[in-house]
């Protein structure tokens, strides 16, 4: 397993070691000991999975304490552009973001610790996105920012006129109006 740091402290890209053969391939998507050696000592409590069509944008979401979540995200099939936005008020990278393309062929994973908003857009039809979380979902603790906030200047890599959003995601506040709990 190869772990790559990003421009924002805490965000990590994990590249598993793939063992291909004539039958297909094998890899460990999670090994508690190896992740701990990489600095990820999270206790995962739940796995989530979504199926989305091309252009589906989910985010930018998070949860406030005491239900803040770390997420270990990956794609089983298809491709996404995954985004994490730093919302730690005392961080030198507050309001900055990192993007990474995750796919069923590159097998990359992205570790997004608490203190970040998270979102993704699907780049292919029938994309299966899965993630492990460190805390249970709590509706009252939901936080978020509108995906296309000009202050964040996220390049989503798609025609934004064709984005498919949930009604909830259409109503999220701007970053300027967002009061970070971190």
What average pLDDT does this structure show over 35-57? 96
Please tell me the predicted confidence (pLDDT) of residue 160.
83
Known active-site residue 97: no
C-beta separation of 113 from 55 below 8 A: no
pLDDT at 162 over 90: no
Strand ranges inside the chain, DSSP E:
2-5, 12-15, 19-21, 24-26, 46-52, 57-63, 71-77, 79-86, 97-103, 109-112, 116-122, 127-133, 142-144
Please tell me the predicted confidence (pLDDT) of residue 64.
97
Which residue in the list 25, 27, 61, 137 is annotated as catalytic?
A: 61
Which residue in the list 97, 107, 118, 131 is annotated as catalytic?
A: 131
Please tell me the predicted confidence (pLDDT) of residue 20.
95
88-114 pLDDT, tens digit per residue, is 999 999 999 999 999 999 999 999 999
Q: What domains, with CATH codes, occur in the chain?
A: 44-170 (2.60.120.10)
Please tell me the predicted confidence (pLDDT) of residue 27.
95
pTM: 0.96
64-90 pLDDT, tens digit per residue, is 999 999 999 999 999 999 999 999 999
């Amino acid at each position: 397993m190869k772990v790559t740091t990003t421009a924002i402290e805490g965000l990590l890209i994990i590249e598993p070691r793939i063992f291909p053969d004539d039958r297909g391939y094998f890899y460990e998507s999670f090994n508690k000991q190896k992740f701990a050696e990489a600095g990820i000592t999270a206790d995962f409590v739940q796995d989530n999975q979504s199926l989305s069509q091309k252009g589906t944008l989910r985010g930018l979401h998070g949860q406030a304490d005491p239900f803040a979540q770390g997420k270990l995200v990956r794609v089983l099939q298809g491709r996404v552009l995954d985004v994490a936005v730093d919302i730690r008020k005392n961080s030198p990278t507050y309001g900055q973001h990192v993007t990474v393309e995750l796919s069923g062929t590159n097998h990359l994973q992205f570790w997004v610790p608490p203190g970040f908003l998270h979102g993704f857009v699907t780049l292919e039809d029938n994309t299966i996105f899965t993630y492990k979380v460190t805390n249970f979902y709590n509706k009252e603790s939901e936080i978020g920012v509108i995906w296309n906030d000009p202050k964040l200047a996220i390049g989503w890599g798609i025609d934004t006129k064709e984005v498919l959003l949930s009604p909830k995601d259409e109503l999220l506040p701007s970053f300027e109006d967002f009061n970070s709990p971190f």
